[in-house]
Amino acid sequence: MATKKHVLLYNSNEPLPQQGGMERVTDLLAKALLNAGYKVTLLCKYPNRLGKIYNAPTDILYIPEDEDNQYFLETLIIECNIYCIIDQTEGGIVGRFGIFRYREDLKSKVKLIAVQHSSTRAVLDNYNLVFTKDFTQTRWGTVIQFFYNNVFLKLKYYHSVCLTKKLYDDLNTSYDRIVTLSSSFIDDFYYYCPKADRTKFFIIPNFNTFESCERTIGQKYVLFVGRLRNCVKGGDKLLRIWSEVEPLFPDWRLDIVGDGEDRGALETQAGNLGLKHVTFHGFQNPVLFYQRSRIFCMTSIYEGFGMVLTEAMQHGVVPMAFNSYSSVKDIIDDNINGILVKPFDEKEYADKLIGLMNDEEKYIEMSYAAMLKSAVFSKEIIVKKWCNLIENL
């Protein structure tokens, strides 16, 4: 590469990998583009949520709170000769919630790439589950519950649909390219923005977190890794599923790695269910847990991609997930390298988990197949897609 193009990689939060999927992806992408020969600068609004030191792989800048953000960014683009901005926030640079409202407000000729990390349609299709609340134990609980379910949630749903249409229209109008993690996301985008320009879309999934992994013979551990937020990750569903499984397998354990606002509620739920073989580990580096586990359980109501699935598969851990968001089928080929379950059918999930725990031959076969499938998301393959996109803007 004769001249290093300068890429500005924008994410709201400082991309400390332990925070979550988007932060991990941003950190990995910055390192990969640097290795590919690009000059990369990270741009953020906020420090990481964990209060930990982030050792950035390159220069990192923060949008000042007390200055003109538009002037700050325009000056940065000009002085640093920024070639393109990769916006990880779906409209954080230009749009109704962006630094600039309209593309014409941005005077420079910098190229803009929006990355669609989430499946908004999966959220809207499961709106009642995502925003469920229980008022039945409060005074006038039955009346409040009826109003919440039948009036408030419906109004909130229609407002969300309208907002999604406007946000997608902004992305289509203001950005030069739109990166989606799955071909199915393009269909979702068209569902809310029928006039979208198809030539703007590039399909680039997330690449593997780990450079290389060796398969280990898993011990009798089932693993969950993720934020403990029930309305998204469904940890309460997992505990109910495990309550059907645990009595049949007293020598197996469930590891829950992660933290979040619902940890206390989940620990209480585990106690109420009488679970003896569940351990809450909090935020941890999950590598050692992947290495010792046989089965990975995802119970999310929705995801964008679900990097924990490919992380597990890299280690030969067989993944299970609800078939609740479209890109999961890009990762798991059902009954070949993992298991998909009818959305939110906890009995079916428990039955299939029991079946896999009972079948050593099936586990070994699927474990090898999972590792093989994870190679599809190797860094070498995915970074080539990014380089092709950047070079042909």
- The per-residue pLDDT for 207 is 93
Other Cβ atoms within 10 Å of 135 Cβ, number: 16
- The per-residue pLDDT for 3 is 67
AA identity, residue 237: K
**pLDDT greater than 80 at residue 114:** yes
Residues with Cβ within 8 Å of residue 173, at least 6 apart in sequence: 103
Q: How many residues does the chain have?
A: 393
Task: Give the predicted TM-score (pTM) of the model.
Answer: 0.89
Q: In CATH terms, are 6-120+168-207+378-391 and 221-376 the same topology?
A: yes
Q: For residue 234, which of 346, 73, 95, 84 has the smallest C-alpha distance?
A: 346
- CATH fold of 6-120+168-207+378-391 reads Rossmann fold (3.40.50)
User: Hey, which residues does 61 pair with through a beta bridge?
Assistant: 43
Burial of 43 (0-12, 13-18, 19+ CB in 10 A): buried
Burial of 36 (0-12, 13-18, 19+ CB in 10 A): middle
- The per-residue pLDDT for 135 is 86
What residue segments make up the domains of the chain, in order of their start?
6-120+168-207+378-391, 221-376
Q: For residue 297, which of 241, 219, 381 has the smallest C-alpha distance?
A: 241
Token readout for 44 is 């953020």
Mean pLDDT of the chain: 94
pLDDT in tens, 215-274: 877 899 999 999 999 999 999 999 999 999 999 999 999 999 999 999 999 999 999 999
- Domain over 221-376 is classified CATH 3.30.420.40: no
Contact 319, 338 (CB under 8 A): yes
Give the rounded distance of the alpha carbon of 22 from its chain centre.
6
Other Cβ atoms within 10 Å of 347 Cβ, number: 12
Residues with Cβ within 8 Å of residue 161, at least 6 apart in sequence: 124, 192
pLDDT in tens, 10-50: 999 999 988 878 899 999 999 999 999 999 999 999 998 88
Average pLDDT, stretch 372-382? 95
Q: For residue 77, which of 174, 6, 175, 4 has the smallest C-alpha distance?
A: 6
